[in-house]
Amino acid sequence: MRLPLPQVEPDPTLPASVTVYEVGPRDGLQNESTVVPATVKAEFVRRLASAGLPVVETTSFVDPRWVPQLADAEEVLALLGDDGRDVHRPVLVPNERGLDRALAAGVGAVAIFGSATETFAARNLNRTVAGSVDMFRPVVERSRAEGLWVRAYVSMCFGDPWEGPVPVPQVVDACRRLMDLGCDQLSLGDTIGVGTVGHVHRLLAALDDAGIGPDRVGVHFHDTYGQALANTMAALRDGVTVVDASTGGLGGCPYAKSATGNLATEDLVWALQGAGVRTGIDLDALVATSVWMAGQLGRPSPSSVVRALSGG
């Protein structure tokens, strides 16, 4: 029996196509307590690419003491060979030391990871927000000099577990500081999943007013309160065309325990297919990849679409 597909009812309020920025191998696995072998991680990336994911963030060059799960970054990239070295396989770099490792591995794209709040910057980066920008400046400058594509993540854009609500002007200021370094793309992180549709519209409008239009923005929603897909569709209606998602809904943040799973890639693809939006992704292959990875982790996928289509 063929897997069911959504009935297509084109939605003219959405973009014609969307780029899904897959974060499963990095953000999805970073908080797993069971260490996943490098061979499995590399196979995960290959399967995602075969399923049509256009961008797959592969790993992080953070200090292994902080994120032991990703201590094998060099090994994973070596296993991927040339496939791990182009602009469609970004890696996270926290500082110049991480960049040195990434450059030695021959990567083609990097991402830095800032914060909209002082508390999270102190906990995650051991810096103030301003200090973290100073830390990232040489990372971005060196990356651009090497011809790399650079992304800037900003976490806690919609709320912080220690500081509570985060004023929109404060988020815009943090985003501008990082983008002014010369980054190519901004990813707005709802790290603890508290964002709502109206909040999304207001932040995107404020960023646009500040000179950061939706063509330079990706969105990264966590599904703690079940709002990730609704918030994503709101962002797409405001002109955003890049969405971060994690196969099987894997993920969290090792520095913020209230940050549960990311938006599941399968749930996003189902919704976009139903709206007639092109992604280039084979949903059947993606579900099969999620089922395979869930088996590697020893637990079922939290994705609603994966559960429905796999009977699990």
Backbone angles phi, psi at 262, to 5 degrees: -75, 170
Backbone angles phi, psi at 280, to 5 degrees: 75, 10
∠ Cα 192 197 198 (to 5°): 110
Q: Which two tokens stand for residue 16?
A: 């014609």
Backbone angles phi, psi at 21, to 5 degrees: -95, 100
**What's the CA dihedral at 199, 225, 256, 21 to 10 degrees?**
-70
The candidate with the shortest Cα–Cα distance to 235, out of 253, 213, 264, 210, is 213
Q: Strand runs (DSSP E) across the chain, as ranges?
A: 19-22, 55-56, 59-60, 91-92, 109-115, 149-155, 185-190, 217-221, 242-245
Catalytic residue among 157, 175, 183, 253: 253
253: annotated active-site residue: yes
Enumerate the active-site residues.
Answer: 253
